[in-house]
Amino acid sequence: MATGSYPATRFRRTKRFDAIRRLVRENTLSVDDLIWPVFIRDGEDDETPIPSMPGVSRLTVDRVVKAAREAADLGIPAICLFPYIDTSLKTELCEEAWNPDNLSNRATRAIKDAVPEIAVMTDVALDPYNINGHDGIVRDGVIVNDESVEALVKMAIAQAAAGSDILGPSDMMDGRIGQMRAALEAAGHRDTCILSYSAKYASAFYGPFRDAVGASGLLKGDKKTYQMDPGNTDEALRLVERDLREGADMVMVKPGMPYLDVCRRVAERFDAPLFAYQVSGEYAMISGAAQNGWIDGERAMMESLIAFKRAGCDGILTYFAKDAARLLNG
Ligand code: PBG
């Protein structure tokens, strides 16, 4: 398939005006590609702006229901809930994580009740409930794997019972997908999807998120004994393969933009639905620079999102979901 030489071939012909550019475009972004992560808090008819994420707030349950209605009306297929838990409810063993009436489960029920057509995704990890800020249970300074998995399974079942459509295990413990899948089947939750955070890196780009869920001040040490080393990509393929074998329906690479090469490798190797998480730090960089007038925020947002499609992702978790949907809907 040879490309002719000049002047038989002039690449500028297909760039001449918008209609022709659209006609030859290889990748497109659609509202159907978007999952919108939101932060929830206790209280009524109120919200708290998150300083490190300009334009993003923690919403009370009634407000998140309204937000879900707006998202569904924009055509966004899924909303992903992250709870901000009061410090008084955080413990060493994270019991609040599987309380059937915890904030996340109450919000799930309220959204499924009022806006049944939107898919609700929930986060399966202990960090919002952990007095240590870690995703697993800590014993003598060690994040213990198997005991954490037992807790995560209880948490997953409580979320499925509350009506969560997609469980998102973001904890990176070993064996969690298989145990969760077995427990879901046993409890009769046969149709609950698992979107595994399979290739999740130990990243500085999660900083603003930890502020948003109130885990920044509490986190002791780092997450390098369970999240991936930024130097690795072969390991990402092994993790994805393992999670698919254990019963994940969809897989994720996270963060997004610094790991587009990982997205590409996973997309080429596996046929399963693949998502990237454009994380809080990526959002903060783009929206912070835009606020300062250093870049055109709308254009940078859309350019950053199409990059994920080009890299082979089927969809993107992004705090820009609503803004992008409004632009896509014209
Ligand atoms: C933790 C979790 C994190 C994010 C999603 N789930 C942070 C972490 O691993 O410390 C990050 C999301 C973001 O930065 O937007 N279970």
Q: Whose CA is nearest to atom 8 of ligand 1?
A: 206
Identify the CA nearest to 124 among candidates 89, 93, 160, 76: 160
Tell me, yes or no, whether 2 lies in a domain: no
Q: Does residue 206 line the site of ligand 1, with CB under 6 A? A: yes
Q: Is residue 2 pLDDT above 80, yes or no? A: no
For the residues 22-28, what does the mean pLDDT come to?
A: 98
CA gap 291, 224 in Å, rounded: 32
Environment class of 295 (CB within 10 Å of its CB; exposed 0-12, middle 13-18, buried 19+):
middle
Residue 15 in any domain: the answer is no
Which residues on neighbouring strands pair with residue 141, listed in sequence order? none
197 touches ligand 1 (CB under 6 Å): no
* 190-194 long-range contacts, CB within 8 A, separation 24+: 192/160, 192/164, 192/165, 192/166, 192/167, 193/165, 193/166, 193/167, 193/249, 193/250, 194/166, 194/167, 194/168, 194/169, 194/247, 194/248, 194/249, 194/250
CATH assignment of the domain containing 108: 3.20.20.70
Q: What is the DSSP letter of 4?
A: P
14 is a domain residue = no
In angstroms, the CA 270 to CA 254 distance is 17
Residue at token pair 């089927």 = 314
**Structural domain contains residue 38:** yes
> What confidence tens digit (pLDDT) does each residue in 76-121 have?
999 999 999 999 999 999 999 999 999 999 999 999 999 999 999 9
The confidence score (pLDDT) of residue 3 equals: 80
Task: Answer whether the bond into residue 100 is a cis peptide, omega within 30°.
Answer: no
* Residue whose entry in the numeric block shows the structure tokens 């334009």: 55
Tens of pLDDT, residues 293-304:
999 999 999 999
- The verdict on residue 224 lying in a domain is yes
Number of compact structural domains in the chain: 1
**Three-state DSSP state, 190:** coil
Query: Which range marks the domain in which residue 96 is found?
Result: 29-328
Q: Measured from the CB, is residue 127 less than 6 Å from ligand 1?
A: yes
The tokens describing 88, both together, are 């008084």
Ligand 1 lined by 279 (C-beta under 6 Å): yes
Task: Among 279, 285, 316, say which to mutate for ligand 1: greatest number of ligand atoms within 8 Å of CB.
Answer: 279
Over the stretch 204-262, which tens digit does the pLDDT of each residue have?
999 999 888 888 889 989 999 999 999 999 999 999 999 999 999 999 999 999 999 99
Ligand 1 site, residue 280, Cβ cutoff 6 A: yes
Tell me, what's the pLDDT at 276? Answer: 98
Considering the domain boundaries, does residue 318 fall inside one? yes
CA of 213 from ligand 1 middle (Å) equals: 9
Average confidence (pLDDT) over 191-195: 98
Asked if pLDDT for residue 1 goes beyond 70, the answer is no
Residue with CA nearest ligand 1 atom 11:
206
Alpha-carbon Rg of the chain, whole angstroms? 20
pLDDT at residue number 24: 98
Angstrom distance (rounded) from CA 39 to CA 164: 16
User: Which residue owns the Cα nearest ligand 1 atom 5?
Assistant: 170
Q: Which amino acid is at 154?
A: K
| Interval 126-151: pLDDT, tens | 999 999 999 999 999 999 999 999 99
User: Which residues are the active-site residues?
Assistant: 200, 254
C-alpha 188: how far from its chain's center?
26
Q: How wide is the angle at C-alpha 99 spanned by C-alphas 134 and 51, nearest 5°?
A: 50
Q: Residue 17 falls within a domain, yes or no? A: no
Q: Do residues 219 and 132 make contact, with C-beta atoms less than 8 angstroms apart? A: yes
pLDDT in tens, 8-21: 999 999 999 999 99
Assess if residue 16 is contained within a domain.
no
Which of these ranges, 92-106, 162-176, 213-227, 267-281, has the smallest mean pLDDT? 213-227
